[in-house]
Amino acid sequence: MKDAIRDNFDESPNAYDEYERRTGRFEALADRLYDELDRRTSRIGALLDAGAGSGVSTAVFDERGAAPIAFDLSGRMLRECPGTIAPRVQGDFDELPFVGEAFDAVVFTASLFLTPDPARAAREARRVLRPGGGVGAVAPLGWTTLDGDDVFAPLARDSRSPTGADDVADALDANFGVESGEWAFRTTAEDLRAFHAVPAMAARLYPRLDPDERLGRARELLSDVEGPLEQRWRWFVGV
Ligand SMILES: C[S@@+](CC[C@H](N)C(=O)[O-])C[C@H]1O[C@@H](n2cnc3c(N)ncnc32)[C@H](O)[C@@H]1O
């Protein structure tokens, strides 16, 4: 499972960054999540960006005054992260290569739901956090019409990650005192298609197909969807 996740993201840096240039979605998620964390914790210095990808979230945390480490399973994603803003470490956030109480914050911006066992990653986050430190996470709730109808319902296809927002909630609740809320971003059918032009995102629709075939099938599946739409996320902060 982990190999598949890493391989999917290793295929994804170009399309991922194109989607981000188009929407700014991951930057907005990291920025809002940092606000929620900052409100509930003491000073944020050392911050582990767990699932940093190509460094969109890392750049936000650096800009906000934290001292982030970009940590990710995918070497290809991590290579895109500007080394000038943060040290980069490749690894699995289920087994963190850091001593206990090393960080003021551990932040999973759109990453914790990608591991098959988020409870293990949550325990690791607890271990490396200093007393008074906090964990932040965002997990997807899906794409809907403005009336709240699931875009995928009429398409005979689920959009599936290894785990979902409820699993992330359970994992964090077992290790932290958690507060949570929802964000909805107004978006378009074109953005939905651009999101699923990222091989790692199209893998949520067609996990068993190779990248080229998977992207073709996703394009076909989503070709008739019309907007406007909303993309919904749940955020969590635990202390
Ligand atoms: C949707 S991207 C988010 C990237 C980044 N936080 C951002 O804001 O753009 C999710 C990232 O989580 C990473 N990831 C998934 N499972 C992981 C794991 N077990 N350990 C470390 N990174 C992981 C993926 O490789 C991917 O780069």
| CATH assignment of the domain containing 148 | 3.40.50.150
The position carrying tokens 């990222």 is 198
What is the mean pLDDT of the segment spanning 166-195? 98
Provide the mean pLDDT of the chain: 96
What is the percentage of the chain residues whose pLDDT exceeds 90? Answer: 93
Within a domain: 138: yes
Q: Helix, strand, coil proportions of the chain in percent (round to 5)?
A: 40, 25, 35
Within a domain: 144: yes
Within a domain: 208: no
pLDDT in tens, 80-114: 998 888 999 999 999 999 999 999 999 999 999 99
* Confidence grade of residue 162 (pLDDT, cut at 50, 70, 90): confident
CB 85 within 8 A of CB 47: no
51 lines ligand 1 (CB under 6 A): yes
Within a domain: 106: yes
Instruction: Work out the number of other CB atoms within 10 angstroms of the CB of residue 65.
Output: 12
Residue 87 CA: distances (Å) to CA of 27, 33, 93, 129, 165: 19, 21, 16, 18, 29
Rounded to 5°, angle at Cα 179 from 112 and 195: 40
* Confidence grade of residue 151 (pLDDT, cut at 50, 70, 90): very high
**pLDDT at residue number 14:** 96
Residues whose CB falls within 8 Å of the CB of residue 182, separated by 6 or more in sequence, listed in order: 141, 232, 233, 234, 235
The position carrying tokens 């001292």 is 67
Q: Which protein residue has the closest C-alpha to ligand 1 atom 10? A: 111
CB 9 within 8 A of CB 73: yes
180 pLDDT higher than 90: yes
CA atoms of 8 and 73, how far apart (whole Å): 11
> Domain count of the chain?
1
**pLDDT at residue number 123:** 98
195 pLDDT higher than 90: yes
27 pLDDT higher than 90: yes
pLDDT in tens, 29-88: 999 999 999 999 988 999 999 999 999 999 999 999 999 999 999 999 999 998 888 999
* Confidence grade of residue 133 (pLDDT, cut at 50, 70, 90): very high
What is the domain extent for residue 107?
24-188+231-238
* Confidence grade of residue 136 (pLDDT, cut at 50, 70, 90): very high
Best of 73, 95, 108, 115 to mutate for ligand 1, by most ligand atoms within 8 A of CB? 73
Within a domain: 13: no
**pLDDT at residue number 172:** 98
158 pLDDT higher than 90: no
Amino acid at 116: P
Within a domain: 71: yes
Residues paired with residue 231 on neighbouring β-strands, in sequence order? 143, 185
pTM over 0.95: yes
53 CA: nearest ligand 1 atom: 27
CB 40 within 8 A of CB 134: yes
Within a domain: 224: no
* Tokens read off for 150: 């699931």
Best of 3, 72, 107, 185 to mutate for ligand 1, by most ligand atoms within 8 A of CB? 72
210 pLDDT higher than 90: yes
Within a domain: 35: yes
